[in-house]
């Protein structure tokens, strides 16, 4: 592979090779690498100008390097980009003596004689004092050689290039392509150890989830205190906890007691039946509960496979199908600080909201305020300030909020905190949202 100097090295090598040839055929001819301008600044009076006008991904190398990262973005190999370089060569000189045409013939002959940029040609360029800025180029170490070939370009394409890129009167031109230049990324990657052994495990009764519902109701939100019922089939383990200790490495692998995986967290259910699993989130251990995150999560039943053939090996598991679960946060406390009157019946403040689930530093958090008013109620949305560590407390800067009493909701990664409804038939607010609230002003 080659580094970021590869493109410039191709241009410089092409310039050096052509310079050695055309000066013998047309005495005094020079080869330049500037942009053809209307005023002709930099282009030679007699000679050839090489201009790189386009670089595009090489189709073959673009498909070759598709899998350089894992799904989460980690590098699994050094990334690279394969490019095709497109040059336009313009020829200058005395038209009466046909110098531009002689230079064109000399250039085409040289490209035909030297269609491949060999490592020796590249090293001669990088070692040349004229090109000392390319001394660190690694193009000569590229496994695939860069080839220079003439490209087909009709009158319409030439017209577009001269009118769009240069906006200057046409000069005798010739196009060629250099491919492929492979530029390697600098970011380091890691490569795992090779697989020593492949093992397969099949189960005649794959566990399957049909439905996940909350005890509160099918359409009710799932919160940190919910009692979940997971319905499906083949949930029972293949061996009891009591018999696990009797297994040896010679026994057939069996499914042990299941766990429920919610997002990246594994929790232990309280009751496991053949067709139903009960999971009371309020009865989870403190460690399990602190690992839960609000948001749209995946729920799956997983079974560790026992026994392990080798204790140092990773734990093998069998998993059910995956079901979506929206785990909603519950607001436990709302506090307002640094309240300021803006003078136009609006206020600014810092609103601190505490929830019953730990909020991760990478989660997206929004605050919804809805005024409790019967006439033209105001509504606002605010984003949380960035948090530096996982916490149950989130701070929101609010500004230009009309004074009044507001219902407070939180949305964490798409999961919204529920509002409480007044279910007292004798109350004035019967079947209305009543809390959590905050008074502003």
Domain spans, the chain:
6-184, 208-327, 331-440
Average pLDDT of the segment spanning 39-62? 86
**Does 230 have pLDDT greater than 60?**
yes
Residue 42's pLDDT is 81
Sheet holding 331-341, edge to edge: 331-341, 346-359, 391-402
**Does 136 have pLDDT greater than 60?**
yes
Residue 64's pLDDT is 65
For residue range 379-400, list pLDDT tens digits in order.
999 998 888 889 999 999 999 9
Characterise 245 by phi-psi region: left (phi > 0), alpha (psi -120 to 50), beta (else): alpha
How far apart are alpha carbons 207 and 76 in whole angstroms? 33
Higher pLDDT, 122 or 60: 122
CA 56 to chain centre: 22
pLDDT band at residue 203, thresholds of 50, 70 and 90?
A: low
Report CA-CA distances (Å) from 137 to 50, 82, 440: 20, 16, 64
Specify the pTM. Answer: 0.57
Residue 67's pLDDT is 58
How far apart are alpha carbons 147 and 128 in whole angstroms? 21
CATH number at 331-440: 2.60.40
Q: What are phi and psi of 277, to 5 degrees?
A: -125, 130
Q: Which of 363, 256, 370, 257 is nearest to 305 (CA)?
A: 256
**Does 276 have pLDDT greater than 60?**
yes
Cβ within 8 Å of residue 288, ≥6 positions away: 265, 267, 268
């Amino acid at each position: 592979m080659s580094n970021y100097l590869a493109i410039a090295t191709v241009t410089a090598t092409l310039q050096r090779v052509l310079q050695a040839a055309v000066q013998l055929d047309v005495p005094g001819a020079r080869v330049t690498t500037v942009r053809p301008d209307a005023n002709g600044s930099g282009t030679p009076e007699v000679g050839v100008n090489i201009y790189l006008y386009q670089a595009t991904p090489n189709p073959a190398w673009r498909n070759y390097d598709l899998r350089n990262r894992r799904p989460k973005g980690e590098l699994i190999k050094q990334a690279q980009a394969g490019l095709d370089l497109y040059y336009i060569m313009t020829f200058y000189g005395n038209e009466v003596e046909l110098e531009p045409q002689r230079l064109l013939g000399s250039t085409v002959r040289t490209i035909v004689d030297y269609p491949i940029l060999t490592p020796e040609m590249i090293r001669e360029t990088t070692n040349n004092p004229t090109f000392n800025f390319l001394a660190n180029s690694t193009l000569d170490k590229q496994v695939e050689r860069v080839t220079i070939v003439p490209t087909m370009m009709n009158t319409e394409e030439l017209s577009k290039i001269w009118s769009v890129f240069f906006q200057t009167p046409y000069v005798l031109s010739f196009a060629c392509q250099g491919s492929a230049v492979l530029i390697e990324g600098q970011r380091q990657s890691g490569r795992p150890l090779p697989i020593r052994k492949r093992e397969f495990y099949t189960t005649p009764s794959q566990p399957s989830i049909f439905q996940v519902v909350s005890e509160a109701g099918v359409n009710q939100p799932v919160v940190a205190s919910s009692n979940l019922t997971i319905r499906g089939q083949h949930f029972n383990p293949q061996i009891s906890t009591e018999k696990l200790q009797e297994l040896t490495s010679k026994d057939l692998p069996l499914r042990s007691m299941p766990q429920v995986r919610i997002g990246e967290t594994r929790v232990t259910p309280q009751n496991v039946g053949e067709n139903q699993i009960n999971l009371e989130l309020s009865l989870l251990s403190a460690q399990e509960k602190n690992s839960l995150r609000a948001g749209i999560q995946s729920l799956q039943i997983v079974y560790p496979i026992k026994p392990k053939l080798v204790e140092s090996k990773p734990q093998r598991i069998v998993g059910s199908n995956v079901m979506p679960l929206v785990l909603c946060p519950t607001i436990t406390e709302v506090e307002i600080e640094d309240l300021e009157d803006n003078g136009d019946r609006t206020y600014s403040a810092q609103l601190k909201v505490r929830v019953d689930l730990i909020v991760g530093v990478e989660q997206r958090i929004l605050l919804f305020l809805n005024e409790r008013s019967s006439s033209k109620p105001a509504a606002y949305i605010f984003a949380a300030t960035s948090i530096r560590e996982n916490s149950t407390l989130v701070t929101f800067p609010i500004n230009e909020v009309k004074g009044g009493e507001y219902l407070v909701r939180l949305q964490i990664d798409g999961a919204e905190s529920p509002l409480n409804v007044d279910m007292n038939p004798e109350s004035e607010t019967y079947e209305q949202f009543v809390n959590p609230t905050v008074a502003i002003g």
